[in-house]
Amino acid sequence: MYKKKYSVLLIIMFRILIILLVLLIVFLIFTISFNKNSNSNSNSNSNSNSNSNSNSNSNSNSVENMKNVKLDSIRTTRNPFNYILEFYRGAPYKGYYIENLKKVEKECLNYLKRDSFSNLIGKTIVIDFDDTIGWTKPYKPIQPEVEKHRIYGDVIHFKPIKPIVNLVKNAIKLGYHIIVITARGPHMLYQTMTNCHRFGIYPDKIFTSCFYGQNQMFKQIMRENLSRMTLNDAKNMTSNQLLNYKGKKDSIYNINIVMTVGDRWCDVKGVIGMLGVKLPEPSDMNSYFYYNGEIRVIE
């Protein structure tokens, strides 16, 4: 009887040992493949940096160097969870994500400094808030911990995404007006404005959405309507009034949108005669320049 029990225990231990060995092999294979991907990414980053140093003039002429790729041909990719976490590791202070945005900041600032914009009346930048100016940790479905924001009364204090915040501040110094268009609801207007002020950004106007993120076309409509009015007209409008605006004012003081920035394609889709800057998101961790149907990855 004892021999039978002993043999059963040996069989169980043997099976457990086999399972552990299989798990160890799987872990080693995954680790090796992940290291190869990270090494290839670092090599590509170093190559792109050396290319950017040897072609410093291409940064200021980035729009002319864009490939003719239709926006509809861009497909988002489902990246492995660990790769997403690695990309955003250290954000919003450091890491791959922030290094990517620093390149965006540099190229956008060179673009805004062009002589053709120096004396442009009503030059304006339209920009999103969430994960563009303020960090809300966009990979929420898989984040390892709950994002802890400080709450003061009815206001949640978000952390600034410094490369984009710096871009906006420098744009203001260059004479650009700033209009924020966010998919947040009207009840979050004060919270959005307060966070912008905390970051040292004082937008000329903040427009919210009555669709609460359910309609991606409203930003495109708002941008088109803004170009048919002056900045003073826009300042006196509510979000619904802007969305339903049917008028047209032919004035040299009309708003001229030079650039629109956001982390979703709806922030840049449909733009004509202005530069669209698409920032990374978990489904596509690249930044893009989009101009009149042509697109270029910012590397």
Q: Under a CB-based contact definition with an 8 Å cutoff, are residues 191 and 208 in contact?
A: no
**Close Cβ partners of 149 (under 8 Å, ≥ 6 residues apart):** 156, 157, 158, 159
The pLDDT score that the predictor gives to residue 101 is 97
Which residues in the chain show pLDDT less than 70?
1-6, 8, 30-81, 139-154, 212-214
Residue 257: closest CA among 114, 112, 101: 112
Q: What share of the chain is helix, strand, coil (3-state, %, to 5)?
A: 45, 15, 35
Beta bridge partners of 13: none
Amino acid at 232: N
The pLDDT score that the predictor gives to residue 35 is 55
251: tokens are 């004035």
Q: Which element (helix H / strand E) includes 59?
A: helix 57-60
Q: Are strands 287-291 and 275-278 parallel, antiparallel or unpaired?
A: antiparallel
Distance from C-alpha of 76 to C-alpha of 59, rounded to nearest angstrom: 26
Task: Determine the longest span between alpha carbons in the chain, in angstroms.
Answer: 100
Q: Which element (helix H / strand E) includes 223?
A: helix 218-226
The pLDDT score that the predictor gives to residue 67 is 54
Distance from C-alpha of 109 to C-alpha of 125, rounded to nearest angstrom: 12
SS3 at position 277: strand
- Axis crossing angle, helix 2-54 with helix 81-88, rounded to the nearest 10: 50
pTM of the model: 0.74
The pLDDT score that the predictor gives to residue 77 is 55
SS3 at position 161: coil
Q: Is the peptide bond before 144 cis (omega within 30 degrees of 0)?
A: no
Distance from C-alpha of 190 to C-alpha of 227, rounded to nearest angstrom: 25
Distance from C-alpha of 49 to C-alpha of 280, rounded to nearest angstrom: 19
pLDDT in tens, 52-89: 444 444 444 455 555 555 444 544 555 666 788 888 88
The pLDDT score that the predictor gives to residue 51 is 44
**Close Cβ partners of 5 (under 8 Å, ≥ 6 residues apart):** none
DSSP class per residue in 230-273? BHHHHHT--HHHHHT-------TTB-EEEEEEESSGGGTTT--S
